[in-house]
Chains A and B, each alone.
Chain A
Amino acid sequence: MQKVVAQRNYSDVMLNIGDANYGIFDGNAPYNEEKALNHIRRERFYLILPRVMQEAKVDMWIHVIRPWAWGGTDPLRYEFGSKSGVFIFTDQGGGNIEKAVFEGDVQDPDAYDIIGERYKYRSQQDYEFMDWSMDNPGKSYKSELDFRFEGIGDFVAERNPKRIAVNYMESLSFPEGSETFTMALTDGISYTDYVQLSKALGDKYTKRMVSAEHLILDYLSRRVAAEVVLYGSLRAQDGWGHGGKTRTFDNIVPGVTTLGEIGQASVINKDGNERGSDDYVIQRGDLIESSQGYAYVLLKGETDLPWYVRKFWDDDKKIREILRKNIQVGFSAGKTLKLLARKLEEAGFVYTDYQEYNKYVDHPRKTQVHLDLHAEGKGILAPRISPMGPKWHWNVKIRLFHTFAVEYMTYMSIPEWDRANNFRGQQLSGFFHDGGVVTDRGMEVPYPDRSNKIHIIQ
């Protein structure tokens, strides 16, 4: 019973893209207010919508969002600001796209040129058809489904589009390829809706229907400057989640301070073994990673970082420089991956497809690098500079202001650790997941990602 009332209590989630758990437009980011999101919507309508429609050679785009999924997982619900509606975008030439809410509710009516009524028969529980019978004496209908797209035939005919994109999927595994499939983006309209829409449009316009899957992917993969602002506001204010009550690296006393006092930390000890429990006491020779960054506790007699830590860090800088320079607007993610793999190998690394150390390589002492640079912000992973995922992740081009996770892993073999562990094979592996934006200049970082200095603890 609580649930019924609960649904009345909560306001529409349109307010906060963060509620999509997309990771970037986070509910905690202080700038995600309704106004900012409405603004982004309009900017995208102005800048991106004409482009994607023209490039796809589509002069009408019909997008149907049904409220059946109460949580609302339509890929474009934030873009359009609605959990329920039939949207029709018509290219009127000259860069003007007519934006119509043929029927439905939107968060931001001023972003549209035409706002239709809410679908009268969205709920058929009450007097709707009794009223219809009174208004249409002597008439009858075959099925209530016939009312679903009432009027759309005339609307479309008035505009006489040549190619009508509709949100059904044919080849792109949208939901399965989403960020965390349980928060999947849907696979488009129902078969029932497809049939009813076709009936409502009539043969002439039904023949002109095409899948909007590529158009939708294109629309979702492009960003406007205002989205870079939101993306860059994540953690920009205070670095990254310092505990406040935790110790900083400066206060670590080897043999006394525990991991729990530092908070959200783990250690690789001098033999290459990982320790992560809160009551672990930090020792000399430990390499610490925490939300504050990285630190190394010098061994007795050591005056500088051991070679493997220095090398690890130098390698990381080189890798980032390669990424920075070679991720460019206009190339597909797949091509970019090939380019990066080549550049990494030219720079003396081994590129690996898998997220683990590969012991079968010709040069086991070379640092191995795995890449999974996927889009961030909209629940879709494409464009994705990675060997993982479905093909369509790699086929998407990288566009201006593409926001993505600079996610990569490195694996470095360390002979000393081998020896210390009976040659079972220990590597130093790193996992990085920062944010990046692609411009004409290459990859840029819109917020301070992580400390790129290792604290040395005496």
Chain B
Amino acid sequence: MNENLNNEGKIMNKVQILLIFFSILLPQNLHSQFEEPKASPELMKLIREQKFEVILPHVMRDNKVDMWIHVKRKSDFFDFEFGEKPGIYIFTDRGGGRIERAVLGGQVDRELYDILAPESYLGKFVAERNPKRIALNYTDRASSFNSISLTDRKQLSKIIGKKYSKRIVPADRLAADYLAGRGMAEVALFGRLLMISTEKIEGEFNKIVPGKTRLSDISGNVFVRDYDGNEENNTDYVVQPGDLIGILNSANMMDFSEHNGGIGYVLRKGETNLPPEVQRIWEHALITRNIFRKNIKAGLTGSEQLEILIKKLEESGYVYIDKDQYDKTADPEKTQVHIDFHAMGRIISQEEAPRISPSGWGRDLKIPLYHTFTFEYMIHMPVPELGKGKHLYICIHDGVIVTERGVEFPAAPIQGIRIIR
């Protein structure tokens, strides 16, 4: 039965060689390095249009705003969504499913906007629409959303008159909600960026030579903690056997960005696999991942969500810590977990976006459907055999999306602790 394989083997060697040659070439060309996507005009237009169509009406109505004025005098955080050119961007809910989009005194894609008019038209424009609540890009608190100058604000109030000035409210929550809303094109982009940053991280792990590579030689946010929780972060610390190394790296397309992480363990002499305590901490990572996955829903605020997660963690025998620091006063038998599920994708800052976290203004924002964020959580696992207070630490950082079904991973999350020999 082996006849034909042998008879044809000689001829096929040449074909095999060719096949192998091409099969090496082609996959490398296609798959060896994901490139960060280019913000093609078509893609930008699609994203902007999608957000105008499916996000804008909801966020304006949820925030009970019927006119949103964004005064842009230079490049700002809404370049990505609105366009880069200065002007006065006005969105008006005139009923029906759609929001009217106008730009006064600016240059934009005419296919995306309904009205282009000179800035001098502002007063008349507002009066014609008689809005009840006007959101403007200012805040009463220190905030990155406060992007209008005082001069512009005063000038605007003067132009639209007292009647409408009284109706002005800060647009921070509206803006944060708008930034947090995702269309499917952004969802697809998010997943691709996650794959790119994962590939970058894997590339960095490949470079590590224990005893030689310094943390500063590795690209990204690179950290190692000892059993007492002392951290080396991007320093000249040389990677040693027994180290648990975390690497975070990012990928972005223009202002759409994300970052995720990987974990590696450097084998000690004589070790061929992860030692038991490292395997244990990984198991905790998976158990807690499942707890988070099952208990996060769209529609709750970040703080409401956090309460639920804390409860579930404690029911499962963990200790929740509100800082990323081992709590020496807590039950020394219990593993401690810190959570910082911050937004990713389009954010002005992690603080000013929906956030399931103990801190930040964003805690009070609702988690919207298709919210892109990270499962960033830190496990501090006591290792009693090493002494009181000694613990292992890992940081998990994976991109996720919340849908009607709960939390989904748009790209493969970290699959395990990588072994570095």
Contacts and interface: CB of A to CB of B under 8 A. Distances in A.
Contacts of A440: 369, 404
B24 interface: no
Assign chain A's interface to a size class: 35 or more
Nearest to B53: A324
Interface string A204-247: 00000000000000000000111011111100111100000000
A455 to B, nearest CB: 13
Given A237-B37, A325-B97, A440-B404, A447 B411 contact: no
A229 B405 contact: no
Contacts of A229: 187-188, 190-192, 410-411
Contact of B408 (A47, A125, A238, A452): A47
A42 to B, nearest CB: 8
A416 B405 CA distance: 54
B406 A33 contact: no
Nearest to A229: B191
Contacts of A325: 97
Interface stretch (A1-9, A81-89, A338-346): A1-9
B31 A33 contact: yes
B325 interface: no
Contacts of B15: 2, 5
A36 B184 contact: no
B189 interface: yes
Contacts of A180: none
A222 B32 CA distance: 31
A444 interface: yes
A39 B187 contact: no
A4 B7 CA distance: 11
A238 B50 contact: no
Nearest to B408: A225
- Describe B's contact surface by its main secondary structure: helix
Q: Which of A35, A437, A441, A442 has the most CB of B within 10 A?
A: A441
Interface string B341-374: 0000000000000000000000000000110000
Contacts of B38: 237-238
A92 interface: no
Contacts of A38: 412
B370 A236 contact: no
Interface string A384-401: 000000000000000011
Contacts of A400: 403-405
A440 B404 CA distance: 9
A232 B409 contact: no
A260 to B, nearest CB: 25
A451 interface: yes
A153 interface: no
Interface stretch (B40-48, B74-82, B264-272): B40-48
Contact of B42 (A232, A437, A448): A448
B292 to A, nearest CB: 13
Interface in B13-70: 15-16, 19, 30-31, 34-35, 37-38, 40, 42-43, 45-46, 50, 53-54, 58
B12 interface: yes
Interface residues of B, number: 51
A8 to B, nearest CB: 8
Given A236-B43, A440-B369, A442-B54, A447 B409 contact: no
A31 B196 CA distance: 9
Nearest to B1: A125
Given A231-B188, A232-B189, A447-B185, A239 B42 contact: yes
Contact of A224 (B8, B11, B408): B408
Interface in A282-313: none
A30 B403 CA distance: 25
A440 B188 CA distance: 16
A30 B31 contact: yes
B157 to A, nearest CB: 35
A43 interface: yes
B404 A448 contact: no
A238 B405 CA distance: 32
Nearest to A450: B42
Given A30-B31, A229-B411, A239-B42, A1 B184 contact: no
A254 interface: no
B184 A236 contact: no
Contact of B43 (A9, A448, A451, A452): A448
B409 A39 contact: yes
B9 interface: yes
A446 interface: yes
A445 B50 contact: yes
B188 A228 contact: yes
Contact of B187 (A35, A446, A451): A446
Q: With a 10 A CB-CB cut-off, give which of B30, B111, B195 has the most chain A CB atoms.
A: B195
Interface string B254-293: 0000000000000000000000000000000000000000
A196 interface: no
Contacts of B370: 439
B8 A1 contact: yes
Contacts of A226: 191, 408-412
B8 A225 contact: no
Nearest to A28: B30
Kindly list the 6 A-B residue pairs having the minimum CB-CB distance in the complex, ordered from nearest: A232-B188, A229-B191, A448-B42, A39-B412, A1-B8, A444-B184
14 contacts: A2-B8, A8-B5, A36-B411, A225-B191, A225-B403, A226-B412, A232-B191, A233-B192, A236-B43, A236-B192, A439-B184, A445-B46, A446-B184, A448-B40
Given A445-B184, A448-B185, 15 more contacts: A1-B8, A9-B12, A36-B412, A39-B409, A226-B191, A226-B412, A228-B187, A230-B191, A233-B188, A236-B188, A446-B187, A447-B43, A447-B46, A447-B188, A448-B46
